[in-house]
Amino acid sequence: MPHRPKVIIGNWKMNKTIAETKSFVAGLALAAKESAFQIGLAVPFTMIDTAAKTAEGTVIRIGAQNVADRDEGPYTGEVSPKMIQDAGASFALIGHSERRRYFREDDAIVNRKIKGVLKIGVQPVCCIGETQEERQSGQAYSILKRQLLHGLDGLEKEDVASLIIAYEPVWAIGSHQVATPEIAQETHAFCRSVIKEKWGQQVADRLVIQYGGSVNPMNAAALLAEPDIDGLLIGNASLSLEAFTNIVLLHV
């Protein structure tokens, strides 16, 4: 069995203030010392600097929730890969379903963003997932395959092995309708097979694939116990220090 780290990332979405960020990260740092997992927090742009400074000297990594698909220039309101890195982000969520849905990000944009961050050594967490209708009509795997092959198009083996894929079924996000460990495991195994077909066994064995969607302290352990689930991307439950701490302190 290939050994992959288990990675737990909190995605705060559009929540929290700078003061709340400081106390949350300081509190999490205590639990992080005892955790068996790699831990990250994807925070709003305005909190990256504070979160990264508070996390200094701990194992907690700070990331952005989005990034521009260009390097610099006249793009009012955008934040570049270099800017998030400069502020202290070592990873960036890319192609989250909320960005695909509300901000019309497509696979081509996702692909440009992934290449943009990889170029400067920021780790992409590429989010993919099917909608309820797509699953019910039997299209889930073809959608996921398209998102993977188009999103990662043109990447070298080493780059693919170094990034994280987050499988987040749209129907499970913020819905209290978590995927069963069986469905999540089966879907992760499918995603890994797509990667193997295109980039080879070694890359597929190394690639970290996280699950996201209505994860909480009650259901996290069963998901983490599955062989192809290499971690969790957590929205709502990452806003509560108590809930998030309970997850990072699980023994699986």
By CB under 6 A, the residues from 10 to 69 that bind ligand 13P are 11
Report the b/e string of 5-31 with b at 16+ CB within 10 A. Answer: ebbbbbbbbeebeeeebeebbeebbeb
Backbone region of residue 213 per phi and psi (left: phi > 0; alpha: psi in -120 to 50; beta: other values): left
Rg over alpha carbons for the chain, rounded to the nearest Å, is 17
**Pair of tokens at residue 174:** 């913020």
CB of 101 to ligand 13P, least distance (A): 11
51, 68, 87, 173: which one binds ligand 13P (CB under 6 A): 173
> What does DSSP say about strands 164-167 and 208-212: parallel, antiparallel, or unpaired?
parallel
CA 178-182-188 angle, to 5 degrees, is 90
35, 66, 147, 236: which one binds ligand 13P (CB under 6 A): 236
CB of 223 to ligand 13P, least distance (A): 12
CB of 72 to ligand 13P, least distance (A): 27
105, 168, 228, 230: which one binds ligand 13P (CB under 6 A): 168
212 binds ligand 13P (CB under 6 A): yes
CB of 206 to ligand 13P, least distance (A): 22
215 binds ligand 13P (CB under 6 A): yes
Residues that bind ligand 13P (CB under 6 A): 11, 96, 168, 173-174, 212-215, 233-237
